[in-house]
Amino acid sequence: MKTIDDLLREDLVAGRRVFVRADLNVPLDGTTITDDGRIRAVLPTIARLAEAGAKVVVASHLGRPKGAPDPQFSLAPAAERLAELLGRDVAFATDTVGESARATVGGLADGQVALLENLRFNAGETSKDDSERGAFADQLATLADAYVGDGFGAVHRKHASVYDLPARLPHAAGGLIATEVGVLKQLTEDVKRPYAVVLGGAKVSDKLGVIDHLLEKADRILIGGGMAYTFLKALGHEVGISLLQQDQVPAVQAYLRRAEERGVEFVLPVDVLVSPEFPDLKTKAPANPSVVAADAIPADQEGLDIGPETRKLYASKLADAATVFWNGPMGVFEHPDYAEGTRAVAQALLDSPAFTVVGGGDSAAAVRSLGFDESAFGHISTGGGASLEYLEGKTLPGLAALED
């Protein structure tokens, strides 16, 4: 996989239009960015290309528009924030390959930066039809002389700007993707042990693939979040009105049996915070939860976070680890009454001497929103889904497209 250094050696940067596929899919409250982590992650690549004299054409998706312009998914707020963080102007094209894009890119001087409007405003970006997707990639290719893939959060998608465009231009991986891949190799190749994995989040179905693969590699797997209740149900426990994927119970039971056979330790909550209703995440009004044993959840209560004894247990299971991968919060961390489980796991990672990797998505957002110093962790990924699919052993289209 080539890097920006290769493009520089081949004289494909200075004075050239370099297309950077970034992941600026940031959370928005109206037009206000609530977490700019993904923008900050790609800054070094954009800055390096601009400083090397490239005409930098940045492109990204945001949200899930249905192949047509939708103002609520505009990248305009990202353009403003990108300019602030870069400390230089960022021209914004109001379309992807139309008149505005052509004029904006055509007006760039060496070292200047432009951002195209949301790529998913064009149906060709996400089309399952190869010819439609290819046609959009052809249009994008007219805006650039070289391609740098640095949107790790999108490399598991077979989309035009991720998969098809690199084949049409000299291409290389940006610094972010190179870092992400290097970190993930440390989680899959010659792993330092003990190797502990912490999985949370809402749905167990989202994590079955990675559990299947990690049963061959991990020494212990700690489960929290909404998915924990399907595990508790698989053990025959009452879970009340907690989030439950009943159809996944047989699969979970099979994984628990397999883990026991392989000597992989599965660690489940021993107590949980419950409430008869879901908390108000807007007002953050006090929820007054109660603590119950994980095998004694009342029928009219919902589990919303791991309890204090589980926090201690999980901290002890992480204390001696040499490698830790964490993906998914332990509870409804957006509400202060249910944030302590997630906070405890984050703190346990900081207290551990292990190489620690926070696997993107809600986990990364939780680290930032709870006030932790990001630099204190070994690595915070920008791509939750991409990280999980890599750990599942899948071929990621965006990475395959960057290989020569």
Binding residue ranges: 23-25, 38, 61-64, 120, 157, 207, 303, 334, 360-363
Q: Would you call 339 helix, strand, or coil by DSSP?
A: coil
Beginning with the edge strand found earlier in the chain, give each strand of the sheet holding 323-327 in spatial order: 265-267, 220-223, 195-199, 323-327, 355-358, 379-380
Q: How far is CA 68 from the centre of its chain?
A: 25
Instruction: Count CB neighbours of 131 within 10 A.
Output: 8
Helical residues (DSSP H) of 95-241, grouped into ranges:
99-106, 130-141, 175-186, 208-214, 228-234
SS3 110: coil
Cα 193 to its chain centre, rounded Å, is: 25
Q: From the annotation, which residues make up the binding site for ATP?
A: 207, 303, 334, 360-363
The residues that are catalytic are 38, 203, 361, 385
Within 10 A of 2 (CB to CB), how many other CB atoms are there? 16
List Cβ neighbours of 393 (8 Å cut-off, separation of 6 or more): 188, 213
Is residue 279 reached through a cis peptide bond, with omega within 30 degrees of 0 on the bond before it?
Answer: no
Tell me the pairing of strands 17-21 and 146-149.
parallel
Please return the burial class of 151, using the count of CB atoms within 10 Å of its CB with bins 0-12, 13-18 and 19+: buried
DSSP assigned state of 270? S
Helix axes 175-186, 384-391, angle to 10 degrees: 40
Rounded CA-CA distance 151/20 in Å is: 8
Contact, 119 vs 125, CB < 8 A?
Answer: yes
Annotated binding residues for substrate, written as ranges, equal 23-25, 38, 61-64, 120, 157
